[in-house]
Structure 1
Amino acid sequence: MTRRDPDPGRAAVSRSVGRGFDPDRLRRERLAEEGTLRHAAGLPEIEIADLARLTGVSPTAIYNWESRLRAPHATLLKAVADELNVPMDVLVVVAPEKRTLADLRWLAGMFQTGVATQLGITTQTYGRIERGNRAIGKDLAIALAKLYDVEVDVIDAAWQRAHRRPAGAKA
């Protein structure tokens, strides 16, 4: 179920869970294990309860993500990643050359509704663009690049991947 304004304390799962979420990386970063960004930065382990308190995400949700019982909404995972001081692409692993617009949106921690609102278009229109069913246009590509903090070429390539996907394949 996709919600426009998720309750940050709930273990919400969207209809389309972002691909590449790695629960093991979340746990390792939270624990600041050797080889993680937090460990390299000298940051301490953070308990689930403290992470929940600091992010407004329930401790049950975080536990469920780490235990592979539930998958997080991008917005909630983004709050956790920000508090852990790690970029989303540490927790969501999709090779850059395989990323779609949906992946880029997920890495930005956003819902389609939020992206569409910021672009001044409908959610349905943005969904068609994200699936490669509607041309993106130069102005929207530039706006998306700014929103997702990537180069316009990355946006164009991500759109092309969705547009050229085989029939029946998810975008």
Structure 2
Amino acid sequence: MSRRTLDGFVPSRLSEARIDKHLAQGELALRADVSTATISAWEVGRSTPQVDRLMRVVEILGLRMDEVIDVPVEERKLGTLRELTGRTQAQLAGIIGVSTSLLAALERGHAKLGDAVAERLAGELGVSVTEIRAAYERGRARPPLD
């Protein structure tokens, strides 16, 4: 399964929180059901976590997602808002009653965002419909990939 890159992930915040909780990487890995090598790679920025795995770690550490994902409010796209809730595209799509492919297209700005879907997204992501529409427009306006 292809997953999009987690924008704004701050590895140092994860390692600082783990150390503050007096947890070894291996103990955190065991509790989160990931490998010690995975935790190590995330903490040094060698790899970026998948949002659902990061959510497990964040919960264990007693953090919020916005403490390890740092994207200014005015730069957040739909995908960022979803990631801040710790949900994958498939999870959120199922909750709001759309296909994963439609949600992915909305996040890229390649599908029209209707009022009903905007309202369901706002409700599930804990933001206003205005914020959903602004995040959607940011996704549409992003520069093309090289």
Q: State whether TM-score is above 0.5.
A: yes
TM-score (norm 2): 0.90
Structure 1 partner of 2:30: 53
Q: Which has the higher helix share?
A: 2
Return the alpha-carbon distance in structure 1 between the equivalents of residues 139 and 7 of structure 2.
Answer: 14
The Cα RMSD (Å) is 1.7
Separation in structure 1 between the aligned mates of residue 60 and residue 100 of structure 2, nearest angstrom: 29
TM-score by length of 1: 0.78
1:151-162 pair list within 5 angstroms? 151-162=128-139
Instruction: Give the corresponding residue for 1:24.
Output: 12
Structure 1 residue runs of 5 or longer lacking an equivalent are 3-13, 33-43
Find the aligned partners of 2:129 and 2:62 in 1 and give their Cα distance: 26
Separation of aligned partners in 1, 2:84 and 2:26: 24
Using the aligned pairs only, state the percent identity. Answer: 32
User: Structure 1, residues 37-61: CA drift from partner, whole Å, max 9, x if none?
Assistant: xxxxxxx322212212222122221
Mapped to 2, the partners of 1:96 and 1:111 lie a distance apart of 20
Distance 1:25 1:119 in 2: 31
Q: Provide the residue aligned with 1:73 in structure 2.
A: 50
What one-letter code is carried by the residue in structure 2 that aligns with 1:23?
A: P
The number of aligned residues is 146
Aligned CA distance change for structure 1 residues 164 and 69 (closer, same or farther; 3 Å): closer
* Equivalent residue letter for 1:125: L
In structure 1, the residue matched to 2:124 is 147
Partner of 2:70: 93
Corresponding position: 1:137 with 2:114: yes
Task: Find the aligned partners of 2:129 and 2:61 in 1 and give their Cα distance.
Answer: 28
- Show structure 1 runs of 4+ deviating over 6 A: none
Deviations 1:115-146 (A, max 9, x none): 22222222221112111222212221121122
Q: Residue 87 of structure 2 is aligned with which of 64, 89, 110? A: 110
